[in-house]
Amino acid sequence: MPKKRASASSTKELPPCHGPKLHVFQHQNSPIKWMERLDIDREEGEETEGYVFRAKIRTREYAIKVFKFYNPLSSKYFWGPLLGEDTALETAAYYTDPFFAECRAYGRIKEATKKRSLKAQIAIPCHGFIFLKENDERTLSKLGIDFGIARIDSDFQQNTEGGWRVRAIVKDLAPQDTGVDKKSVGKILRGIRALNKHKIYNMDIHLDNFRNGQLVDFGSSWTEPHLLLDAQHDHAARNSKLSDLEKFDEMIEDEEIQTDVRARPNPKYCRKLRAWG
């Protein structure tokens, strides 16, 4: 990894753009004891945003999601036509990098739970972001972790907040069970609707992103204000905002959960009502 590292220790909140922000983890300077990977059920060759570890900091265990470096040029085919081809790479990154997506979603969740307008249960609690120290990077590299440095654009990376330092988000450690079943789906759907009401769109509702009936992954989320949502035509923006409800129903069908709970009108009910009418 290149030697030059920006001083990131003074960064208190991210991302540095309009909208919600995530705070730095309060024990950012404490040593981390890295334990096993939690994201092991992946399919062979699956492209991922990063790695999730069980880890101990001071006396408590957490789940730490370590993000790969992000090159906004890799998604320019998508944001270029919407935001404009000459949009600054850092601006594009604030709205497309999975790390910033999580920062923005958790920033809004924190604001809303503080104001008591959102109950915290739908998302696994988050404790803030950290920049890994060199010894942590060395430890993880020895475990074969690839931070994706080969894919980055050095000029862009050099000038980002944190520079060459690897970014991570600290969350509560959840049990490995998804907790999605016929008893919990009603509450989960209410939680998703509440997130949407607070203008957080997870955009990746599926079974593997739940633990203990709570969402663990906001890496694909869009939280308003969001430049991509603003740039979409009305119809596309409406579809983006409905994505969580559609994916929730797909999850119920795909996982064959025995329930009538649906986010959108349930075709089975509609048929029954027509038959009764």
Ligand X SMILES: Nc1ncnc2c1ncn2[C@@H]1O[C@H](COP(=O)(O)OP(=O)(O)OP(=O)(O)O)[C@@H](O)[C@H]1O
* Contact between residue 222 and residue 201 where contact means Cβ atoms under 8 Å apart: yes
Residue 137 site contact among ligand X, Mg ion, none (CB < 5 to 8 Å, cut-off depends on kind): none
Residue 52 CB, nearest approach to ligand X (Å) = 4
Residue 83 site contact among Mg ion, ligand X, none (CB < 5 to 8 Å, cut-off depends on kind): none
Residue 266 CB, nearest approach to ligand X (Å) = 27
Q: How many CB atoms neighbour CB 131 within 10 A?
A: 24
Burial code (b: 16+ CB inside 10 Å, e: under 16) for 158-197 equals: eebbbebbbbbbbbbbbeeebbbeeebbeebbebbebbbe
Residue 212 CB, nearest approach to Mg ion (Å) = 15
Report if residue 160 touches Mg ion, rule: CB under 5 A: no
Residue 38 site contact among ligand X, Mg ion, none (CB < 5 to 8 Å, cut-off depends on kind): ligand X
Residue 54 CB, nearest approach to ligand X (Å) = 7
Contacts with Mg ion in 213-232 (CB under 5 A)?
Answer: 217
Give the contact letters, 41-80, x = binds to Mg ion (CB under 5 A), - = no.
----------------------------------------
> 3-class SS at 111?
helix
Segment near Mg ion (CB under 5 A); pick from 25-33, 86-94, 206-214, 235-243: 206-214
Q: Which is nearer to ligand X, 153 or 172 (CB)?
A: 172
* Contact between residue 110 and residue 191 where contact means Cβ atoms under 8 Å apart: no
Q: Which is nearer to Mg ion, 136 or 217 (CB)?
A: 217
Residue 211 site contact among ligand X, Mg ion, none (CB < 5 to 8 Å, cut-off depends on kind): ligand X
* Contact between residue 216 and residue 126 where contact means Cβ atoms under 8 Å apart: no
* Contact between residue 222 and residue 108 where contact means Cβ atoms under 8 Å apart: no
Q: If you ran DSSP here, which 8-state letter would residue 24 be given? A: B
Residue 223 CB, nearest approach to ligand X (Å) = 16
Helix intervals (H) in the chain: 76-83, 89-96, 98-114, 134-142, 154-158, 185-197, 227-231, 234-254, 267-276
Which amino acid type is present at position 92? Answer: A
Residue 189 CB, nearest approach to Mg ion (Å) = 19
Residue 191 site contact among ligand X, Mg ion, none (CB < 5 to 8 Å, cut-off depends on kind): none
* Contact between residue 204 and residue 247 where contact means Cβ atoms under 8 Å apart: yes
Which amino acid type is present at position 47? Answer: E
Interaction site with ligand X (CB under 6 A): 38-39, 48-50, 52, 63, 65, 124, 171-174, 208-209, 211, 216-217, 219
Residue with tokens 């696994």, as numbered in its chain? 124
Residue 48 CB, nearest approach to Mg ion (Å) = 8
* Contact between residue 122 and residue 188 where contact means Cβ atoms under 8 Å apart: yes
Q: Which is nearer to Mg ion, 15 or 98 (CB)?
A: 98
Residue 72 site contact among ligand X, Mg ion, none (CB < 5 to 8 Å, cut-off depends on kind): none
Site residues for Mg ion per CB under 5 A? 209, 217
